[in-house]
């Protein structure tokens, strides 16, 4: 922890304010708070709301870095606000809502709508024709395979990769790294009966895996450290083979 010899820092939170429902156009507004030990952006933003502007909009749920609600641009880079410690940032911190998603107001965006759309479009559930007998002993699975599936299942739908993606800013229908990762997840899962041809139907064009420019901004910003780079490359090879 900091040796606070010179007293606590004065922080400036420069926040991009707006309210589409009330026709308030985006503009920057500065708020000043005194830094406290162990302060996160969750704590700082709540302090602003409690003491300076009770109308400030933002989304936090778990405040523990696991639910994916609090993605925003922190000094221009997508990240989870709740687990960003102010001590790792300068005294001037700019905060803006994630781009690509529909803006609700201030730092709040509608990731839910986007994610539901992705789930419907990519059918992100196990496709199985088998009727499962719930009282029977479950079908075995290799322990390593279960762990590999979980590795890809850890996506928290925070939208950071979406906000960081160059392709998505130009091509709205692009499924993004998150969508490609989901396909990789279900493709790996033996309980899902879909074949590569089925997956090709979903992502075998330039709104899918062939639209990706592989600049990998997504990989660098994913707060869960998902292996997006290897998964995208792998899928591209598989889909190229499937389409050939």
Partner 1 sequence: MRIIYTDVLVVGGGLAGLRAAVGARRRGHDVIILSLVPPKRSHSAAAQGGMQASLGNTVKGEGDNEDVHFEDTVRGSDWGCDQDVARLFVHTAPQAVRELAAWGVPWNRIKAGDREVIMDGKRVTLTEGQAAHGLIAARDFGGTKKWRTCYVSDGTGHAMLYAVSDQAVAESIPVHERMEAVALIHEGGRCHGAVVRNLVTGELTAYVAKATCIATGGFGRIYRVTSNAVINEGIGAAIALETGAACLGNMEAVQFHPTTIFPAGILVTEGCRGDGGLLKDAAGHRFMPDYEPEKKELASRDVVSRRMEEHIRAGHGVKSRFGEHLWLDITLLGAAHIDGKLREVKEICQHFLGIDPSRDLIPVRPAQHYSMGGIRTDARGHARGLKGLFACGEAACWDLHGFNRLGGNSVAETVVAGMLVGENMADFVESAAGELRVSTALVRACLDAEQAKLDTLLHGNGTESGAELMRRMQDIMTDKVGIFRTGELLHAAVEELQGLLLRSRRIGLRTRRPGGNPELVTAYRVQKMLKLALCVAYGALQRTESRGAHFREDYPRRDDASWLKRTLATWQDDFQTLPTLAYEALDVASMELPPGWRGYGARNAIEHPATAGRAAEIDAIRSAFGHADRFTVQQALMPFDHLIPARFRGRNARPGETS
Rank residues 196 and 220 by Cβ distance to ligand SF4 and give the closer one: 220
Please state the φ and ψ torsions of residue 235, each to the nearest 5 degrees. Answer: -65, -40
Q: Indicate whether 18 belongs to the interface with partner 1 (CB under 8 A).
A: no
For residue 231, give both structure tokens: 């998964």
Residues 201-220 interacting with partner 1 (rule: CB under 8 A): none
User: Binding to partner 1 by residue 35, rule CB under 8 A?
Assistant: no
Q: Does 189 bind partner 1 (CB under 8 A)?
A: yes
Is position 8 an interface residue for partner 1 (rule: CB under 8 A)? Answer: no
Taking the least distance from each CB to ligand SF4, the nearer of 13 and 212 is 212
Size of the site for ligand SF4 (CB under 6 A): 26
Verify binding: residue 65, ligand FES, rule CB under 6 A. Answer: yes
CB within 8 Å of 20: residues ≥ 6 apart: 103, 104, 105
- Measured from the CB atom, the residue of 51 and 230 that comes closer to ligand SF4 is 230
Per-residue x/- marks for ligand SF4, 137-166, CB under 6 A?
Answer: ------------------xxxxxxx--xxx
User: Which residues sit at the interface with ligand SF4, rule CB under 6 A?
Assistant: 155-161, 164-167, 176-178, 181, 212-218, 222, 224, 226, 232
Q: Kindly list the residues in this chain that would bind ligand FES in the complex (CB under 6 A).
A: 60-63, 65-70, 80, 82
Binding residues for partner 1 (CB under 8 A) = 1, 19, 21-22, 37-38, 40, 49-50, 54-57, 59-69, 83, 85, 104-105, 111-113, 115-116, 119-120, 123-126, 128, 130, 132, 134-143, 146-147, 149-150, 153-154, 156-157, 186, 189, 191-192
């Amino acid at each position: 922890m900091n040796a606070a010899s010179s007293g606590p820092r004065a922080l400036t939170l420069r926040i991009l304010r707006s309210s589409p429902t009330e026709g308030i156009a985006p503009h920057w507004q500065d708020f000043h708070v005194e830094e406290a030990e162990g302060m996160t952006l969750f704590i700082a933003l709540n302090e602003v709301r409690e003491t300076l502007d009770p109308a400030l909009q933002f989304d936090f749920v778990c405040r523990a870095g696991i639910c994916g609600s609090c993605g925003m641009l922190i000094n221009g880079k997508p990240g989870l606000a709740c687990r960003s410690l102010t001590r790792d940032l300068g005294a001037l911190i700019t905060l803006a809502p994630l781009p690509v998603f529909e803006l609700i107001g201030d730092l709040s965006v509608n990731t839910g709508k986007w994610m539901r759309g992705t789930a419907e479009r990519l059918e992100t559930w196990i496709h199985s024709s088998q009727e499962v007998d719930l009282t029977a002993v479950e079908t075995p699975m290799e322990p390593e395979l279960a762990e590999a599936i979980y590795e890809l299942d850890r996506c928290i739908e925070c939208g950071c990769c979406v906000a960081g993606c160059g392709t998505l800013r130009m091509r709205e229908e692009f499924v993004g790294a998150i969508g490609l990762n989901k396909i990789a997840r279900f493709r790996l899962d033996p309980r899902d009966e879909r074949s590569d041809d089925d997956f090709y139907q979903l992502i075998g064009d330039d709104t899918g895996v062939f639209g990706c420019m592989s600049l990998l901004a997504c990989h660098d910003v994913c707060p869960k450290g998902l292996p997006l780079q290897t998964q995208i490359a792998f899928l591209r090879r598989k889909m190229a083979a499937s389409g050939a």
